[in-house]
C-alpha cells in the first residue's frame, strides 16, 4: 500500500481466523482420558473393574453351591478346601462372596437413575418455572428431606414387604429431594441466561427448552452428582441388607453376610471380612472415579465446554 | 519537528516523580513451563497531582501492567524483569507481607466494580474505618472526623447517616464514590484506578471522572488510570499511554496523544469511537490484537494500513516524535498528516407506513408484595425500514420495552401491534409467522449463546423453525450463507462459543437473528459489551444487513454517540417514560428536554483523528 493511503475499511477480512498452531488452544481432553490420566481415576477404574468383574462373572466360578448347607465344617477360617473358610452353617464363604454382590450394584444403579429422572426433572421444572410451581416442588423436597432415610425405608418396607422393586423405589425416594435440590440449584444459574430468553422468544415449549438449552448446561454437576450418588447408594443398600430390610436369607448377599457372620468373627473372620471388603472396595473405587470425573467436569465447566 | 531518534535510556521526567516503572516485563507460565510474555519493557513515571492514562483494547495488557507495577502478582503471572520504584523501595522486590504494609497506605487501588469491592455485609463506616485503624491507628473522634471528611470529599450526601448504611443502600455511582473514599483514606502517594467508571451510566461516569480529576489535583496523589475509553482518558488524564500487545506504543501529554496521535493504532482507536461531529461514520480496525508480545515485527502490522515489508519484519522502538511524545512506529513522519477515513453508513429512508405499534404499554416487576412500575404507558411507532434508537440510562425501562415487544415480558396494560394486528403478550402464544418477524439480539453474547451448542446448532434452530423454504438438506448451505453475511469463515460452524472472540460471538448472535429473515430486529445494547474497535464492525454489519434484508431495527443503547451513528430517529427515556422523540439530527442539534441536554453534555467531547481538522 502506498504511503499515506487512506484506510479503506472492508479491504481486509474484518476478523481473520487465528492460525491454529499459534493461538488455538487444543480441544480439551475427553472425560475418559482425564480419568485415566489421574492416579485416583486409574486406581478407581482398576478396582472398580475387578469388583464389577467378580460381581458379574463370579457366579460361574463358584467351587461350591453358595446356598448349600454343610459343604464343609461350621465356622472355620481359610483352608485348602475353603479359600475364605466357612460360615456358621457350613456354607463356603468364597462361593457366597462371588455371587453376593449383585444387589448392592444393581439396586443403587436403578434407584439413582429413577431419582435423577424424577428429582432431576422436578428440580429443573421448578427452577425454570419459578413462582408457585417452584414453591410447591421445593416444599415437597423439604418435606422428604425431613424424614430420616432409614426410618422412611423401614416404614415403607414394613408396609409393602421387601422386594427388589420396592427397594429400588424406596431408595430412589430417599434420593429424589437430594438430587432435585442439586439439579434445581444448577438450573437456577442457567435460566437467567439470555439464551433461555432467546429460546422463549422463538416460541419454544418448556420441554424443549429444558432438554435443549438447560440440560447440556447442567450436565456437569448432574453427572458428578450421579457418580457420587451411586457410592452413597452402594453403602445405603448394603446397610439395608445388613439390617435385614433388603435381601433375605438364604440369598447370599454381602450386607446380609456381614450381619449373619459377625457373631463368629473370631473363629471365621473371612465370613465377615470378605463381604465387608467387597462393599468397601466397590464404594471406594466408585468414589475415586466420581472424584476424578468431578474434577474434569468442573475444570471444563470453567472453560465453558463440556464434551462428556 | 525534531528528527526521530531511538530512546535507549529511559527518559528522565524530572525528579518529581513519585513512582517510576522501568523495563517492566511480565509473563504468564504456560502449560509447558515456558513463559507467554504479555507485557514487554513498560516504562512510565507517575507524578504527584497528575493522572497517567493507560489505554488499549481488552487483552492488551494494561491491567496486568498496572497491577504488576504495584507489586501485585496475579495468579500465574510473574515479573520477568524490571523495577517499580516508590521512593527508596522497589515494589517488585518486596515480600507479600512488606507489600501489605504499603498497599492501602501508600498505594491504593480502585477496582472496576465497587459492587464487588465493597463487602455487602458490613456498613460502609466500618469498611472506611478499616484502613484508618490498620495503617494510621486512628480511633474515637479523630476516626469519625476523618470518615466524615472523606465522604464529604467524594460528594456523598449526608455523610453522618451514610456511615451506618450498607453498600446495597447506595446506587452504583455512590458505591464507586465510597470505594474512592476508602482508597484515599490513608492519603496514599499512588492511586491505581482500574476502569473505575466502566459499567456506570454516562451521566454518572462524567460525574465520577470529574470528581477523580479534582481529587487528584487537590490531594496531590499520583494516579494511574486504566481504561479502554480513550475519549474519557483524553479528557481526564494529564499524560496518556496507549498499549498494544503488551507494549506501550504511544505515550505523551494527553492532549497530544488524543488530538495529534502519531501511532496508527491510536489513530485507528480514536477513529473507531463514534463521533458526533462525523455522524454515520464508522471506522473499523480490521483483525484483532495478538494475545502476547510480538518481538520480531511491528505487532500492529497485520492490522495496519501503513504496513510495509520492513514493518512486518522489524520491531520498532519507542521514538520521540515531539518533545515528551513518543510513538513506536517506523513511519511516524509519513503518518503524521494522514487522516483516517471511515466508511459512511447508508441512510435508509423510512417509509411512512407504520410496521410496529406500541400503544400505552405499562410494565411492572413484582417481587413479593411490592410492585415496581418500570414502564409508564409508553407509545412508540416503528416504521418499515427505519432504524429507531431508544436511549436511556439503566432503569429507564428501555430494555423492558424491548422485552415486551419480543414477548418476553407480559405488559400490565397496553397493546403491541404488528401491521395493525394485535400481538399476544407472550411469545409462545404468538403465531410462528409473528415470531419469525420479530427477532432479538441481546447485549452479551456470552449469555445469549448457549455455551454447549456449536455455531451450527445455534444457527440450525431458527432455520428449522422458521424457514420453510429451506429443506433439511439445504440447512448447511443456509448456515454458510448466514456466516458469510456476517463475514465469518464457514469453518466456524463446528466451534463452540467459548472458542470465539467477543466480536465473533456477537456476529453469530446477529446471524442467528437474521436466520429467520425478520422484518423487525430488536437490538438490546448489542455493542456495549464489546471493545470500541469491534463495536464499529458490528455497527457496520447491522446497518448493512438490515438494509439488505429490509428489516426495521429498534436499537436500544445507553450510548448517544452510537445511536447518532446508526439510527435515523430516536427516543430518549427516563424512569419508564419517553422524554423526547425526534429525528436524529433534531435531537442532537436542538434537544428540547432538559434530560436530553444533560445526556448530551455528559459525552466526552469528540476527539479528532490526526490531520482531519
Q: How far is B146 from chain A (nearest CA, A)?
A: 42
At residue B115, does pLDDT exceed 80? no
| Contact between chains at A305 and B291 (C-beta distance less than 8 A) | no
| Contact between chains at B286 and A4 (C-beta distance less than 8 A) | no
Closest residue on chain B to A196 (Cα): B448
Residue A198 to residues B157, B418, B429, B440, B458: CA-CA distances in angstroms? Answer: 41, 20, 15, 7, 11
Residues 6+ apart with CB under 8 A from A110: A168, A172
Q: How far is A1 from chain B (nearest CA, A)?
A: 7
Name residue, grid cell 481466523: A17
The Cβ of residue B519 has, within 10 Å, a number of other Cβ atoms equal to 20
Average per-residue pLDDT in chain B?
88
Say which of B288, B305, B498 has its CB closest to residue A15.
B288
Closest residue on chain A to B287 (Cα): A15
Share in percent of chain A as helix, strand, coil (round to 5):
70, 0, 30
At residue B11, does pLDDT exceed 60? no
| Contact between chains at A200 and B407 (C-beta distance less than 8 A) | yes
Q: Is A304 or B124 the better-scoring residue by pLDDT? A: B124
Residues 6+ apart with CB under 8 A from B149: none
The Cβ of residue B390 has, within 10 Å, a number of other Cβ atoms equal to 28
> What confidence score (pLDDT) does residue A6 get?
39
| Contact between chains at B504 and A219 (C-beta distance less than 8 A) | no
| Contact between chains at B287 and A204 (C-beta distance less than 8 A) | no
Question: Best of A5, A27, A201 to disrupt the B interface by mutation (most B CBs within 10 Å)?
Answer: A201
pLDDT tens per residue, range B466-479? 998 999 999 999 99
| Contact between chains at A305 and B451 (C-beta distance less than 8 A) | yes
Q: Is B367 or A17 the better-scoring residue by pLDDT? A: B367
At residue B605, does pLDDT exceed 90? no
Say which of B337, B430, B489 has its CB closest to residue A203.
B430
Q: How far is B342 from chain A (nearest CA, A)?
A: 7
| Contact between chains at B408 and A197 (C-beta distance less than 8 A) | yes
The reported pTM is 0.81
> What confidence score (pLDDT) does residue A197 get?
95
> What confidence score (pLDDT) does residue B275 get?
77
The size of the A-B interface in CB pairs under 8 A is 134
**B125, exposed or middle or buried, with CB in 10 Å at 0-12, 13-18, 19+?**
buried
pLDDT tens per residue, range A262-304? 888 888 899 899 999 999 999 999 999 888 888 877 776 655 5
At residue B6, does pLDDT exceed 50? no
The average pLDDT across B67-96 equals: 88
Residue A21 near chain B (CB below 8 Å): no
Question: Best of A22, A131, A202 to disrupt the B interface by mutation (most B CBs within 10 Å)?
Answer: A202
Q: Chain A partners of B305 at a C-beta cutoff of 8 Å?
A: 1, 5, 7-8
Q: How far is B429 from chain A (nearest CA, A)?
A: 8
φ, ψ of residue B510 in degrees (nearest 5): -70, -40
> What confidence score (pLDDT) does residue B336 get?
66
Cis geometry, peptide bond prior to residue A250 (ω within 30 degrees of 0):
yes
pLDDT tens per residue, range A193-209? 999 999 999 999 999 99
> What confidence score (pLDDT) does residue B613 get?
32
pLDDT tens per residue, range B262-293? 899 998 888 888 877 777 888 888 877 887 88
At residue B454, does pLDDT exceed 90? yes
φ, ψ of residue A127 in degrees (nearest 5): -65, -35
Residue A109 to residues A19, A102, A245, B489: CA-CA distances in angstroms? Answer: 46, 11, 18, 46
Say which of A16, A195, A204 has its CB closest to residue B448.
A195
pLDDT tens per residue, range B157-178? 899 999 999 998 888 889 999 9
Share in percent of chain B as helix, strand, coil (round to 5):
35, 25, 40
User: What is the C-alpha to C-alpha distance for residues A29 and A52, in angstroms, rounded to an integer?
Assistant: 26
> What confidence score (pLDDT) does residue A294 get?
81
At residue B206, does pLDDT exceed 90? no
Residue B606: band (very low, low, confident or very high) from pLDDT cuts 50, 70, 90: low
Question: Best of B32, B399, B452, B491 to disrupt the A interface by mutation (most A CBs within 10 Å)?
Answer: B452
User: What is the C-alpha to C-alpha distance for residues B180 and B176, in angstroms, rounded to an integer?
Assistant: 6
Q: Which residues of B548-563 are buried (b: 16+ CB within 10 A; e: fewer)?
A: eeebbbbbbbbbbbbb
> What confidence score (pLDDT) does residue A17 get?
36
The average pLDDT across B542-557 equals: 93
At residue B14, does pLDDT exceed 60? no
| Contact between chains at B287 and A10 (C-beta distance less than 8 A) | no
Residue B499: band (very low, low, confident or very high) from pLDDT cuts 50, 70, 90: confident
User: What is the C-alpha to C-alpha distance for residues A201 and A245, in angstroms, rounded to an integer?
Assistant: 52
Q: Chain A partners of B440 at a C-beta cutoff of 8 Å?
A: 197-198, 201
Segment 211-270 of chain B within 8 Å of chain A by CB: 268
Say which of B331, B403, B448 has its CB closest to residue A3.
B331
Residue B413 near chain A (CB below 8 Å): no
> What confidence score (pLDDT) does residue A171 get?
94
Give the Cα-Cα-Cα angle B602, B606, B607 (nearest 5 degrees): 140
Residues 6+ apart with CB under 8 A from B319: B4, B5, B6, B7, B326, B327, B328, B329, B332
Q: How far is A136 from chain B (nearest CA, A)?
A: 16
> What confidence score (pLDDT) does residue A235 get?
92
Q: Which residues of chain A have pLDDT under 70?
A: 1-30, 300-308
> What confidence score (pLDDT) does residue A300 get?
65
Question: Best of B280, B432, B451 to disrupt the A interface by mutation (most A CBs within 10 Å)?
Answer: B451
> What confidence score (pLDDT) does residue A13 get?
37
Question: Best of A2, A15, A297 to disrupt the B interface by mutation (most B CBs within 10 Å)?
Answer: A15
Set of cell numbers at residue B316: 520498532
Closest residue on chain A to B437 (Cα): A202
Domains identified in chain A and CATH numbers: 101-251 (1.10.3720.10)
Closest residue on chain B to A218 (Cα): B452
| Contact between chains at A15 and B303 (C-beta distance less than 8 A) | no
Set of cell numbers at residue B384: 418499515
| Contact between chains at A203 and B498 (C-beta distance less than 8 A) | no
Query: Which helix (H) or strand (E) segment is B367 a member of?
Result: strand B354-367
> What confidence score (pLDDT) does residue B338 get?
61
Segment 274-293 of chain B within 8 Å of chain A by CB: 282-284, 286-288, 290-291
The ipTM estimated for the assembled molecules is 0.79
At residue B612, does pLDDT exceed 50? no
Percentage of chain B surpassing pLDDT 70? Answer: 94
Give the Cα-Cα-Cα angle B596, B602, B604 (nearest 5 degrees): 130
Q: How far is CA B49 from the centre of its chain?
A: 26
Q: Chain A partners of B439 at a C-beta cutoff of 8 Å?
A: 201
Q: Chain A partners of B435 at a C-beta cutoff of 8 Å?
A: 201-203
Q: Is B199 or B327 the better-scoring residue by pLDDT? A: B327
The Cβ of residue A89 has, within 10 Å, a number of other Cβ atoms equal to 17
DSSP 8-state secondary structure symbol assigned to residue B493: G
Say which of A10, A193, A195 has its CB closest to residue B343.
A10
Amino acid at each position: 500500500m502506498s504511503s499515506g493511503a487512506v484506510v479503506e475499511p472492508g479491504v481486509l477480512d474484518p476478523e481473520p481466523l487465528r492460525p491454529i498452531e499459534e493461538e488455538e488452544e487444543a480441544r480439551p481432553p475427553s472425560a475418559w482420558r482425564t480419568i485415566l490420566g489421574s492416579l485416583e481415576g486409574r486406581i478407581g477404574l482398576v478396582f472398580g473393574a475387578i469388583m464389577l468383574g467378580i460381581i458379574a462373572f463370579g457366579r460361574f466360578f463358584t467351587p461350591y453351591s453358595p446356598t448349600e448347607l454343610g459343604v464343609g465344617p461350621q465356622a472355620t477360617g481359610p483352608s485348602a478346601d475353603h479359600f475364605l473358610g466357612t460360615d456358621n452353617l457350613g456354607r463356603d464363604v468364597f462361593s457366597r462372596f462371588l455371587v453376593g454382590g449383585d444387589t448392592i450394584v444393581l439396586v443403587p444403579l436403578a434407584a439413582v437413575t429413577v431419582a435423577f429422572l424424577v428429582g432431576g426433572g422436578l428440580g429443573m421444572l421448578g427452577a425454570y418455572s419459578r413462582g408457585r410451581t417452584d414453591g410447591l416442588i421445593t416444599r415437597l423436597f423439604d418435606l422428604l428431606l425431613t424424614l430420616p432415610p432409614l426410618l422412611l425405608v423401614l416404614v415403607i418396607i414394613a408396609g409393602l414387604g421387601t422386594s427388589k422393586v420396592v427397594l429400588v423405589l424406596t431408595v430412589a425416594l430417599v434420593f429424589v429431594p437430594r438430587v432435585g435440590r442439586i439439579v434445581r440449584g444448577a438450573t437456577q444459574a442457567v435460566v437467567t441466561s439470555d439464551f433461555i430468553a432467546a429460546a422463549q422468544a422463538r416460541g419454544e415449549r418448556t420441554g424443549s427448552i429444558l432438554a435443549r438449552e438447560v440440560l447440556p448446561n447442567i450436565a456437569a454437576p448432574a453427572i458428578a452428582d450421579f457418580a457420587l450418588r451411586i457410592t452413597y447408594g452402594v453403602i445405603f443398600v448394603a446397610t439395608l441388607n445388613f439390617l435385614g430390610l433388603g435381601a433375605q436369607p438364604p440369598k447370599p448377599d454381602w450386607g446380609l453376610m456381614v450381619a449373619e457372620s459377625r457373631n463368629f468373627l473370631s473363629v471365621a473372620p473371612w465370613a465377615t471380612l470378605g463381604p465387608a471388603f467387597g462393599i468397601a472396595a466397590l464404594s471406594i473405587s466408585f468414589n475415586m472415579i466420581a472424584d476424578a470425573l468431578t474434577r474434569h467436569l468442573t475444570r471444563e465447566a470453567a472453560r465453558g465446554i463440556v464434551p462428556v | 519537528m525534531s528528527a526521530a531518534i531511538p530512546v535507549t535510556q529511559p527518559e528522565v521526567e524530572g525528579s518529581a516523580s513519585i513512582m517510576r516503572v522501568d523495563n517492566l516485563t511480565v509473563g504468564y507460565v504456560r502449560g509447558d513451563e515456558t513463559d507467554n510474555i504479555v507485557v514487554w519493557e513498560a516504562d512510565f513515571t507517575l507524578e504527584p497531582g497528575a493522572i497517567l492514562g493507560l489505554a488499549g483494547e481488552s487483552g492488551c495488557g494494561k491491567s496486568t501492567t498496572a497491577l504488576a507495577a504495584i507489586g501485585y502478582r496475579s495468579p500465574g503471572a510473574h515479573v520477568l524483569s524490571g523495577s517499580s520504584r516508590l521512593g527508596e523501595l522497589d515494589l517488585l522486590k518486596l515480600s507479600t507481607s512488606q507489600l501489605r504494609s504499603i498497599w492501602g497506605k501508600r498505594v491504593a487501588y480502585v477496582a472496576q466494580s465497587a459492587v464487588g469491592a465493597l463487602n455487602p455485609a458490613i456498613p460502609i463506616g466500618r469498611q472506611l474505618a478499616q484502613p484508618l485503624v490498620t495503617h494510621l491507628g486512628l480511633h474515637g473522634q479523630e476516626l469519625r472526623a476523618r470518615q466524615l471528611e472523606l465522604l464529604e470529599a467524594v460528594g456523598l450526601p449526608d455523610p453522618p447517616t451514610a456511615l451506618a448504611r450498607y453498600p446495597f443502600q447506595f446506587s452504583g455511582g455512590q458505591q464507586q464514590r465510597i470505594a474512592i473514599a476508602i482508597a484515599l483514606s490513608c492519603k496514599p502517594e499512588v492511586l491505581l484506578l482500574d476502569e473505575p467508571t466502566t459499567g456506570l451510566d454516562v451521566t454518572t461516569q462524567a460525574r465520577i471522572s470529574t470528581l477523580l480529576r479534582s481529587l487528584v489535583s487537590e490531594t496531590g496523589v499520583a494516579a494511574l488510570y486504566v481504561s479502554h475509553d480513550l475519549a474519557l482518558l483524553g479528557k481526564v488524564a494529564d499524560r496518556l499511554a496507549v498499549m498494544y500487545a503488551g507494549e506501550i506504543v504511544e505515550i505523551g501529554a494527553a492532549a497530544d496523544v488524543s488530538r495529534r496521535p502519531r501511532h496508527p493504532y491510536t489513530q485507528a482507536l480514536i477513529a473507531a469511537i463514534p463521533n458526533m461531529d462525523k455522524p454515520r461514520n464508522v471506522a473499523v480496525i480490521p483483525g484483532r490484537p495478538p494475545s502476547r508480545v510480538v518481538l520480531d515485527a511491528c505487532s500492529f502490522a497485520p492490522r495496519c494500513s501503513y504496513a510495509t515489508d520492513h514493518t512486518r519484519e522489524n520491531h520498532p522502538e519507542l521514538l520521540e516524535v515531539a518533545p515528551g511524545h513518543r510513538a513506536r512506529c517506523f513511519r511516524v513522519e509519513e503518518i503524521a498528516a494522514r487522516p483516517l477515513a471511515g466508511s459512511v453508513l447508508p441512510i435508509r429512508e423510512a417509509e411512512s407506513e407504520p410496521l410496529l405499534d406500541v400503544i400505552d404499554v405499562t410494565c411492572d416487576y413484582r417481587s413479593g408484595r411490592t410492585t415496581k412500575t418500570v414502564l409508564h404507558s409508553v407509545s412508540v411507532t416503528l416504521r418499515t425500514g427505519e432504524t429507531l434508537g431508544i436511549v436511556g440510562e439503566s432503569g429507564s425501562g428501555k430494555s423492558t420495552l424491548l422485552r415486551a415487544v419480543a414477548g418476553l415480558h407480559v405488559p400490565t396494560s397496553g397493546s403491541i401491534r404488528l401491521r395493525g394486528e394485535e400481538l399476544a403478550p407472550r411469545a409462545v402464544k404468538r403465531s410462528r409467522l409473528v415470531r419469525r418477524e420479530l427477532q432479538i439480539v441481546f447485549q452479551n453474547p456470552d449469555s445469549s449463546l448457549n455455551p454447549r451448542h456449536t455455531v451450527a446448532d445455534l444457527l440450525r434452530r431458527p432455520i428449522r423453525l422458521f424457514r420453510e423454504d429451506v429443506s433439511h438438506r439445504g440447512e448447511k448451505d443456509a448456515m454458510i450463507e448466514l456466516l458469510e453475511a456476517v463475514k465469518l469463515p464457514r469453518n466456524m460452524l463446528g466451534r463452540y462459543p467459548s472458542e470465539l472472540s467477543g466480536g465473533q460471538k456477537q456476529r453469530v448472535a446477529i446471524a442467528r437473528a437474521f436466520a429467520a429473515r425478520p422484518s423487525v430486529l430488536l437490538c438490546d445494547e448489542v455493542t456495549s459489551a464489546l471493545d470500541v474497535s469491534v463495536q464499529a464492525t458490528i455497527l457496520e454489519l447491522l446497518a448493512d444487513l438490515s438494509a439488505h434484508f429490509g428489516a426495521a431495527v429498534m436499537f436500544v443503547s445507553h450510548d448517544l454517540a452510537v445511536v447518532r451513528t446508526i439510527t435515523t430517529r430516536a427516543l430518549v427515556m427516563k424512569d419508564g417514560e419517553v422524554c423526547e422523540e425526534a429525528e436524529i439530527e433534531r435531537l442532537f442539534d436542538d434537544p428540547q428536554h432538559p434530560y436530553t441536554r444533560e445526556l448530551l453534555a455528559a459525552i466526552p467531547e469528540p476527539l479528532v483523528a490526526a490531520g482531519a481538522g
